[in-house]
Structure 1
Amino acid sequence: MFSRPAQSLPAFTCRRDLGNHASVAGAKRHTEPCNLQTEDARKRRNKRKAGTEESREGTKKKRRSTQSPSAQLGQRVAIKHIPREKVFRTNVIKNGKVCELPLEVVLLLKLAPAPGSIGQTAAIALMDWYDLEQELILVLERPSPCMDLRKYLEDSGGVLEEHEAKIILRQLVAAFIEIHAKGVLHRDVKLENILVETGCDIHRFRVIDFGCGCTLEEGPYTTCCGTRLYFPPEWYEHHSYMAGPFTVWQLGVVLFTLLNGHLPFYTRTHILQCNPATNDWLSQNCHDLLQWCLAKCPEDRPTLEDLLLHPWLE
């Protein structure tokens, strides 16, 4: 489904066990925070080495990992478990050879921060990963404190004021300009996939979950993955779309939800035929921006760069 030409990838290393990330092996099958402790790691690793050396000799499956130097012991992280049958894979070039890697790992490596700049990128960073027989495990950066944008909206009473929604959209537009510049298309932009760092006076909004993502292409896409109520009309009409208008539409759905407390569309017919009504108290510039993002024709939508120049965001 995600067949693409092989691409070059930053260096990665291979390991045959979970190393110091012993808590990964015992974590529940949900994305959750965990603390990596040195003493427990040593004890569990020694037991695992003693008990599984024979089975390791008999398996040909490699367990690959980035072994990020930033994934230090005691650091708070999030663990994401993906059943093996749900892992999409793609070909990459490593040391002149083509090898197959999990697509989400490839995308996160494209978005990886420069050394020493964990926490500064638009996307949450991949700290480590383990390609096991039964599942793929991702060890991800976890800012603290934080919550997803859905929970943030609920805690804020279900509707945001314009000035706050403006801050969020401005940050998200800049985030997706950065993500697209690094060759990645997210395809599932929604409240649940936006993380809010709440530990400072001015909140920071970052992007998570690239499980529906793919590499950025200049031409049209003919496969789609994500949340159907966030898909643009051109997908339902022609089963194709372009990366930029697709992302702008989804950002429009996010902005509408923040300002109105509900999604703009609830069925395929609504997406194709209806223009959603907005709250009367919104400014004219805000109305104009929403209508621009949610234009039925993709050619009528702005680019991400155009959005930053709109009067509502200036």
Structure 2
Amino acid sequence: MAEPAATKAANEREAMGEKGGGGRGKRLLLGRFEVGKLLGSGTFAKVYVGRNVRTDELVAIKALDKESILKGGLVAHIKREISILRRVRHPYIVELFEVMATKTKIYFIMEFVGGGELFSVVSKGRLCEDTGRRYFQQLISAVAFCHARGVYHRDLKPENLLLDEKGDLKVSDFGLSAVANQIRSDGLFHTFCGTPAYVAPEVLSQRGYDGARVDIWSCGVILFLLMAGHLPFYDRSVVAMYRKIYSGVFRCPRWFSQELTDLLHRLLDVNPQTRITIPEIMENSWFKKGFRHVRFYIEDNELHSIAEPEEDGRSQNDHESGSESDCSVASCPASFSDDHREPLGLPRPPSLTAFDIISFSEGFDLSGLFEETGEMTRFLSKEPAPKIVAKLEEIANVAGFKVRGKDCRVFLEGTREGEKGPLTICVEIYELTPSMVVVEVKKKAGDEKEYEEFCINELKPGLKHLMCESPPVSKTTASIG
């Protein structure tokens, strides 16, 4: 339920550290962000709550000291963190909006998550099974998304898991994260990192480790903590705690169901080779209860969620639980799909103005309407928009792509995950004349090489009979006088 306007405004004032109705006298960062109270601080950074003065939205501002970063040799580390945060945009991951800098500071402008840490919730006692499962589903969804993009968090713990105003989980603090290109020649990571209670035994052995399997171990420790209210391996002595972790011996409380106990023993398997994998977790019967995919896409640099339709075989208990999570990612808005296709009833394509045409071509040289670059192709067609869209659906179906669209804007979405996400192609249709349209094809997400191969092998051959031939270009010069 949405908060009443007065309550929401009061909560925002409290977050900003304001007692009254305004933020007069507060520091303004680069003329754009009002800086509020301090949320937390570390060795190299401080985090403040802020407000975007243009949109009035709350943000989190992470301020890093340039001199400390240079002295600590952390320039590459900071650059990697920025790159990772831009790569892993997901509903259950704290979003980096932009990076700003002054002579002495670097500022990360990030999503403000106002519900506090998951640690604060579990510190009050164990959670009920459905609530703990919901958080675990969201955590696994975010971790699976990161791993598909070659990103490994390596410091997953309840202090790094935040809750938003809806009670949804947000993974934060990618400062210790690693990417696939940091792996050594033996295919493993060797940097010792993580928080003692959540670190995997193979990290302790210092012989190298698989980043994905280390994250899965940490997820197992978090799940145990959520359900039991205490850690599976703990001792006041860090050395003694490491011995317990290395042995992998733990006891599940009597209130754990057998399904949960079995899953935890697979998550906390000291042998990384036999430890459960993300795909296996997704198929686990305990995990799947109440699980519903939440898909999303990024358009105009904003993240939008798409709720998946209910599955036919869902049980009544699943409907009642109402849990939502995400393990599948879309990169385009939903209007129609090939699973439940309805008559398109496409409206007339939007008309191109004279300014649009001039932007496509140089003067009256219409060859610009046939432009082709690395990530974009444009061509003319005399066929109506519904016929073009129907052909696109046919091509997508053969290639195993999903089709989504809105009006005369259609998206073809691949299913194969990679570091840059699934290949997503946007096709837009514009009316040039009542009998002629311009079709523009662009890569919106995914690997450029995969896009080129799809265009050459699938898209262009399939659309060839719908294209008009490029007109011969006749360049003339006009004299005046």
Same fold (TM over 0.5): yes
What does residue 34 of structure 2 align with? Answer: 23
Task: Give the alignment partner of residue 226 of structure 1, picking from 186, 194, 207.
Answer: 194
The Cα of 1:137 is off from its aligned counterpart by 2.1
Q: Deviations over 1:157-211 (max 9, x none)?
A: 4101222111111111111111222232111100011111243xxx311211111
What does residue 292 of structure 1 align with? Answer: 266
What does residue 252 of structure 1 align with? Answer: 220
Q: Secondary structure at the match of 1:102?
A: helix
| 2: CA distance, partners of 1:290 / 1:136 | 41
Q: Secondary structure at the match of 1:281?
A: coil
Q: Secondary structure at the match of 2:285?
A: coil
1:134-145 matches, cutoff 5 A: 134-143=104-113, 145=114
Q: Secondary structure at the match of 1:168?
A: helix
The Cα of 1:73 is off from its aligned counterpart by 3.6
1:80-99 matches, cutoff 5 A: 80-84=62-66, 85-86=68-69, 88-90=74-76
Higher RCO, Cα 8 Å, sep 6+? 1
Q: Give the number of the structure whose alpha-carbon radius of gyration is greater.
A: 2
The Cα of 1:122 is off from its aligned counterpart by 2.6
| 2: CA distance, partners of 1:82 / 1:262 | 34
Specify whether residues 140 and 264 from structure 1 end up closer, same or farther in structure 2 by C-alpha distance, changes over 3 A only.
same
Are the aligned partners of 1:128 and 1:140 in contact in 2 as well (CA < 8 Å)?
Answer: yes
Does 2:179 match 1:215?
yes
Q: Secondary structure at the match of 1:160?
A: coil
Task: Provide the aligned length of Structure 1 versus Structure 2.
Answer: 241
| 1: CA distance, partners of 2:82 / 2:98 | 9
What does residue 204 of structure 1 align with? Answer: 168
What does residue 312 of structure 1 align with? Answer: 286
Letter in 1 for 2:191: T
| 2: CA distance, partners of 1:35 / 1:180 | 32
Q: Deviations over 1:115-163 (max 9, x none)?
A: xxxxx533111112234554432111114x4221011223xx4101222
Does 2:115 match 1:146?
yes
| 1: CA distance, partners of 2:260 / 2:211 | 24
The Cα of 1:280 is off from its aligned counterpart by 0.6
The Cα of 1:18 is off from its aligned counterpart by 5.2
Q: Percent identity?
A: 27
| 2: CA distance, partners of 1:248 / 1:187 | 10
Are the aligned partners of 1:172 and 1:205 in contact in 2 as well (CA < 8 Å)?
Answer: yes
What does residue 128 of structure 1 align with? Answer: 98
The Cα of 1:229 is off from its aligned counterpart by 2.0
| 1: CA distance, partners of 2:103 / 2:198 | 33
| 2: CA distance, partners of 1:131 / 1:182 | 27
The Cα of 1:32 is off from its aligned counterpart by 3.1
1:1-314 matches, cutoff 5 A: 19-24=30-35, 28=38, 30-37=46-53, 72-84=54-66, 85-86=68-69, 88-90=74-76, 102-112=79-89, 121-143=91-113, 145-154=114-123, 157-199=124-166, 203-216=167-180, 219-266=187-234, 267-314=241-288
Q: Secondary structure at the match of 2:97?
A: strand
The Cα of 1:309 is off from its aligned counterpart by 0.7
| 1: CA distance, partners of 2:254 / 2:180 | 37
| 1: CA distance, partners of 2:80 / 2:163 | 25
Q: Which stretch has the larger CA shift, 182-191 or 213-222?
A: 213-222
Q: TM-score with structure 2 length normalisation?
A: 0.47
Q: Secondary structure at the match of 1:90?
A: helix
Are the aligned partners of 1:81 and 1:137 in contact in 2 as well (CA < 8 Å)?
Answer: yes
What does residue 46 of structure 1 align with? Answer: none
Q: TM-score with structure 1 length normalisation?
A: 0.70
Letter in 2 for 1:109: R
| 2: CA distance, partners of 1:82 / 1:229 | 27
Are the aligned partners of 1:122 and 1:176 in contact in 2 as well (CA < 8 Å)?
Answer: no
Q: Which runs of 5+ in 1 are unaligned?
A: 1-16, 38-71, 92-100, 113-119
